[in-house]
Chains A and B, each alone.
Chain A
Amino acid sequence: MEVTIFPAMNTLAKLQILSGAARYDASCASSGSRREGAPPGGTGNTSQSGICHSWSDDGRCISLLKLLLSNDCRYDCAYCVNRSSNQVPRASFTAREVVDLTLEFYRRNYIEGLFLSSAVMQSPDQTMERMVRVVETLRVEERFGGYIHLKIIPGSSSELVRKAGFYADRISVNMELPSQASLQRLAPQKEKAAILEPMALIGREIQESLVERKKIRSAPRFAPSGQSTQMIIGASPETDFQILRLSQGLYKKMNLKRVYYSAYVPVSDDNRLPVIASPPLLREHRLYQADWLLRFYGFTAEEILSDDAPHLDESFDPKTAWALRHPEFFPVEINRADYGTLLRVPGIGVTSAKRIVAARRFSLITPEGMKKIGVVVKRAKYFITCSGRPFEQSLHQPAQIRQQLLLGEGSGEVKLPRQLVLPGLYA
């Protein structure tokens, strides 16, 4: 008779509480790290492009077993479902429980690895230490080679941060809110310095490890998949411009791989929080679009927004909004424009721009050819020419194009965004 792995119903109940409490963390990427094969005698490797294993009922990808080690929090952050004043059932896993769940799920190919975060139990250091012990057990005792994303608890010692980066593929410190003022108001027990310091430390360690590994291939890796962070959108009064400039700074100065935006889901009737009927999903979607422009399209935050127009347009994606403000940039000639210029055309993304550049080597591209190479011109047609000939005869004025685009999309009625985030595809 085989022994059951999970002793009581207990683990199942804990799993429900502690995955439910972790679901508001948007990060799910499993990419950017590459371990060819499982460690000797062990299980698990990672894939450069990341792998999604399932999609939950909200349509988000599941790639990691996303858990809190505990939701028993001594902090009382207004926006958080786990705040100490909230009446919710509390639970904490033992290290063994998390290790066994990870391994049993991984062996059945349910997951790509583990995402472990936690509420602050007795202290940041005590919590971080327990989290590090989980991944240490996985890596050392169980020889687990799958993906691990570990949250850093703000305020934990640099020694623990270093240890975390040594075992995990990705580590992240959540910004939580886009400004010091909001942090002070909504999360008085968290300090900006306690968030930014470990971020800077992680950035330096990643850089150093990369340099070391160029010299000695066997030098230890530090968070090979980099660091990310998350901000809650719509719980505090910052403008999109402030948020984007913050992200831009994080990408440039701190070398972050990803900034996640999480639409505030009303989980509290605290009077410091705005009263909203539903999470601001469209705003979140537009921020992700703008974030993509920063990372892959060569835009700066100042090109996308300004102090005079600090919010992203609801009716148009940020690239189209930019194009409508810059008629002098258009039309773009498909057969001559360089890659960077093609990327600025609304409706032409990274894939399309690359296909255009590749196909041009063989012959001039005709409007018919655009279809053949799989470039959708529904939106782009107002902004391009093909060998000098326009796609749309009569439209030149931004006002006309604006009108046409709105008509083409069901008279300005904004469709609920389909999620743009493809966590598996890009870091």
Chain B
Amino acid sequence: MTEDPATEAPRPTSVDLAASFEESGVREVLQELDDTMIGLAPVKQRIKETAALLLVDQARRQMGLATETPTLHMSFTGNPGTGKTTVALKMADLLHRLGYVRKGHLVTVTRDDLVGQYIGHTAPKTKEVLKKAMGGVLFIDEAYYLYRPENERDYGQEAIEILLQVMENNRDDLVVILAGYADRMDRFFASNPGFRSRIAHHIEFPDYTDDELLQISEIMLDEQNYTFDPKARQAMAEYIVARREQPHFANARSIRNALDRARLRQANRLFQEATGPLDGPTLSTINESDIRASRVFRGGLDVDRPSQKEAAE
């Protein structure tokens, strides 16, 4: 039932990279990446390089110069909230448009989805997840949790072995992206050399600067049809500086949470102050008091204050 080799289209003798760049729709993905993601310059640079590599590889394959599927497994390292999942989603789209994955869906998992609770539970669980991800991209968040050196009977090792096997044997079927904090991922790779050698692309996500976070907060609000008034914007800038110094700072995720709470306070304020009908702008403006009421300006949550922490220890 295979196609007769004689009827196959003849191989092209030259390729137009610019044309295939346009045709494949890679330009739109890269453009979208530029438009929707603030900052992350090194990440964008790496993705552009990867896209170029894949386009050239695709052209080489059309001309019969390359036959092997390149290794596409990646690791994304960076602090929480730096956009790893969002970029992974874009990466899945990019790989799909270039024809390296057939479906282009993203399956996001953590240790709990891969590792079982008792003997014999892990392998079926891991395989189930891998099957779901086939034809797309498997994104393993906080991948270093898979390996727990302190417990030698930990089932994580079993999941790692199955992962490695499928990453090697089913390279055409799925792309695995490991994500996590930089230092812990380094330790994870050091203790699992098999992983390091099977991952071709290591991409580091830098923290956002204060300015970038402010821009991000405005985009987030804009998506939900809210705006800052000028004073609130100033308060948000100060909020970001203060929040960064406090524990559990998670870049864009902290900003999202802060905005959610600001919207809550705004709703409360409207309820208490409103005497008559409200117009659209009033309903969608976050003002200074909504931001300033945050505990961040008073030194963060009680449990996280350093003095108390030290006293507890």
Do A and B make up one complex?
no
| Interface residues, chain A, with chain B CB atoms under 8 Å away | none
